[in-house]
Structure 1
């Protein structure tokens, strides 16, 4: 296998939850060596499932090394500075006050390594809220996404933490573009990515569309719903109790759908145009629901595929990886962790999966890295004894046993 583009680059991660660990996961998949720095309490996601690691650790921390440091101690800070001196990139998503307290700000890190790229994924970038805290659902609330996602009328967060993951992706884009710029200044290498600003960018289309319609119509007009209020675009239940999601965006899609399902509405002049179908939304929805509801999933799939329409079954998580499309070479990574086996989706674009490390335990590589940084055996032992550093311990973050309810 050819060398990956970031082979030889060292990335230091002080990450918790998702945003920074997701960014470094991508950099790791591109070939960088990622060293995950954690406090003695560990990344929060190490204790989320029955007292042990969650899927986040398995999915986004495999192939990384782990060192455990107490950055509230002088010894921990010293080790961290030595580590930063060997790095190309530092990425963290600590709160601004915590970053200053622990000595991991851009000023702190660049004082040790002036050539460093420093990335802080935070709640907000420059502005009056620069020090405020923010989480993924708060970003959804602040940028309009949650207002359009309601359950029983109540604004509700999305399931996945998409804003965290997009912020991590934006961080990677900034890192790579900075690496490609031979004239990048130290200011260019101080990168801040805000969850709030990420949410604004993701909402740009909707915000621009709202402004457009307001100016054209002279009034505010909002179309609620993730299906853009387009009749026939959404999920419908088949006769055998499976949900199918239809992509009916255009007039041509509508014509194909009504013809493929032999619907009475095929060719109805009152429904040929989207603007007319919007006016008759209830009628259209009832017609599509009736047509899909008369078919089993397999029957509907055959008719829709023959018509060249976009659709998919609404897949439950436990069946997602069963599909032949998911099982093609390069798409799933086999991981063994603590005696359990996992199939983890690979970074998109891979055609084969390179062998690498399973998710590390807390401080699994502490001793190895201390030696690499030049600490003698006695010095390393002293740091471990003082609590400035810590190695993996048997039973750390063990999953609580499942009790037999029979």
Structure 2
């Protein structure tokens, strides 16, 4: 049994790769019925990442679990007719085409309204439906670059790209938020919506704090490796241990920093927390201390100290951690693989395992679509 918060909501998902399919999966996790429409050759994501014996990508199976897959040729009359029927019964259309593609297929705004006045159309694109870059191709690293997500990340003189892809996942969440807000209005007024969500702007939306700091300059400027939250503070950064592993220290509040200093036998550091950024000298001292022992040593010493400390774990270790196991969101799948449930508990329980991704034909889908 999945969650039932969106029970009865019907979503047609035209998206491919990661951002749109992840958004569609979240809606499905919450109870929506999601039919993913793919071209005859299938979503290109089928070929990306590790393959299972059946030839399908394990990544594709993960991100599309819980959905019904319907292959349609939207360049052919028969495929467009089936798609029109789907839109007549849908509440939400999610797509990730380049701007103008849906119009070329014969489903512009006017046509969509004719088919279904209540339809919520969410267009998820790289740079948005307007502007000089609207037709420009890109991937996560490009959207992060323009949206400001790489401006202050990394070390001095070196930028670092995040993994898993930040813009892909952030834009999926942005799309879901907008869709759910539109669903509330749809239920209240019967009105549809046109949602223009871009991957780049999902990143840009997170930049108010670092941009404001950068414009003010001085010690709080978000220069790579020199700001409060990106490596310039000795009390908030990653450190290497003697076994070439890492630990995280996030002791921003003075009480946490003091607890850390006492636990490691360096009470003389307590008064130095307010030193100007970047705290290169203090950071070097802390780094030298932590580099002298194995990660396990520091974890044993600090795990029960209230100082915002956590070892940087490998995937296998994360899955075995008592907190992860207690919450029950990560589960073993086929392949091997790991299925991560919806990120939270609802009514005191975690989401049940998703059904495997399933293909169906048009007759089967439309028969089900017509019920209720």
Settle same-fold status: TM greater than 0.5: yes
Hey, what's the Cα distance between the residues in 2 that align with 1:301 and 1:3? 36
In the alignment, structure 1 residue 61 sits paired with structure 2 residue 56: no
1:98 to partner: Cα distance: 2.4
User: What aligned pairs does 1:32-43 form with structure 2 within 5 A after superposition?
Assistant: 32-43=32-43
Report if the CA contact (8 A) 1:122-1:134 is conserved: no
User: What aligned pairs does 1:95-114 form with structure 2 within 5 A after superposition?
Assistant: 95-114=98-117
Hey, what's the Cα distance between the residues in 2 that align with 1:21 and 1:257? 42
User: What aligned pairs does 1:6-405 form with structure 2 within 5 A after superposition?
Assistant: 6-49=6-49, 52-125=55-128, 126-150=130-154, 153-181=157-185, 182=187, 186=191, 189-211=193-215, 213-214=216-217, 221-225=221-225, 227-263=230-266, 266-267=267-268, 272-276=271-275, 278=277, 281-336=279-334, 340-350=335-345, 351-354=349-352, 356-360=354-358, 363-372=359-368
Report if the CA contact (8 A) 1:63-1:359 is conserved: yes
Per the normalisation by structure 2, the TM-score is: 0.86
Displaced runs of 4 or more, over 6 A: none
Per the normalisation by structure 1, the TM-score is: 0.79
Report if the CA contact (8 A) 1:134-1:195 is conserved: no
Q: What SS class does the counterpart of residue 70 from structure 2 fall into?
A: strand
Q: Which runs of 5+ in 2 are unaligned?
A: none
Report if the CA contact (8 A) 2:242-2:292 is conserved: yes
Report if the CA contact (8 A) 1:66-1:366 is conserved: no
1:205-241 alpha-carbon deviations (Å, 9 max, x no partner): 2112223x24xx6x99443226241124222233344
Report if the CA contact (8 A) 2:92-2:119 is conserved: yes
1:309-345 alpha-carbon deviations (Å, 9 max, x no partner): 1122212223321212222254134544xxx353311
Greater CA drift, 158-167 or 128-137: 128-137
Hey, what's the Cα distance between the residues in 1 that align with 2:101 and 2:308? 48
Q: What SS class does the counterpart of residue 37 from structure 1 fall into?
A: strand
Which has the higher Rg, Structure 1 or Structure 2? 1
Structure 1 residues 137 and 117, CA gap change in structure 2 (3 angstroms): same
1:261 to partner: Cα distance: 0.4
Of the two structures, which has the highest relative contact order with CA contacts closer than 8 Å and spacing of 6 or more? 1
Structure 1 residues 151 and 221, CA gap change in structure 2 (3 angstroms): closer
Report if the CA contact (8 A) 1:65-1:365 is conserved: no
1:75-117 alpha-carbon deviations (Å, 9 max, x no partner): 1111100111111111011111322222344443332111111
Hey, what's the Cα distance between the residues in 2 that align with 1:193 and 1:184? 23
Hey, what's the Cα distance between the residues in 1 that align with 2:240 and 2:90? 53
Q: Which runs of 5+ in 1 are unaligned?
A: 375-406
Hey, what's the Cα distance between the residues in 2 that align with 1:296 and 1:243? 9
Q: How many residue pairs end up in the alignment?
A: 359
Q: What SS class does the counterpart of residue 350 from structure 2 fall into?
A: coil
